[in-house]
Structure 1
Amino acid sequence: MGEYVIKLPDVGEGVAEAELVEWHVKVGDLVREDTVLAAVMTDKATVEIPSPSDGEVIWLGAEVGDRVPIGSPVVRLKIAGEGNVTESEEPRPAAGKAEPEATPERTKAASKPVGIPTTRAIAAPAAVPRPEGEKPIASPAVRQRAREAGIDLRQVSGSGPAGRITHEDIDVFLTRAPQTARAGLVRKTLVEDIKIAGLRRRIAEKMSLSKSRIPHITYVEEVDVTTLEELRGSLNKDKRTDRPRLTLLPFLMRAMVKAIDEQPQLNAIFDDEAGTVHQHGAVHIGIATQTRNGLMVPVVKHAEARDLWDCAAEVNRLAEAAREGTAMREELFGSTITITSLGAMGGVATTPVINHPEVAIIGVNKMMIRPLWDGTNFVPRKVMNLSSSFDHRVIDGWDAAVFVQRIKALLETPALIFVDG
Structure 2
Amino acid sequence: MSSGFKGKAPSRRQFLAGAAAAGAGAVTAGAAKAEGDPLITEVQFWASGTGDGVDATPYGLPIRFEADVRRRNVEWLAADTISSINFTPIHALDGTITPAGCAFERHHSGAIELRKQDYRLMINGLVDTPLVFTYDDLERFPREQHVYFCECAANSGMEWAGAQLNGAQFTHGMIHNMEYTGVPLRTLLEEAGLDTAGDLKDKWVYVEGADASSNGRSIPMEKALDDCLVAFKANGGALRKEHGYPVRLVVPGWEGSMWVKWLRRIEVMDGPVESREETSKYTDTMADGSSRKWTWEMDAKSVVTSPSPQAPIKHGKGPLVITGLAWSGRGAITRVDVSKDGGKTWETARLAAPGDKMALTRFCLDTEWTGEEMLLQSRAMDDTGYVQPTKAQLREVRGLNSIYHNNAIQTWWIKPNGEAENAEVS
Q: Same fold (TM over 0.5)?
A: no
Determine which structure has the larger helix proportion and give its number. 1
TM-score, scaled to structure 1 = 0.23
TM-score, scaled to structure 2 = 0.23
Structure having the higher Rg: 1
Higher relative contact order (CA 8 A, sep 6+): 2
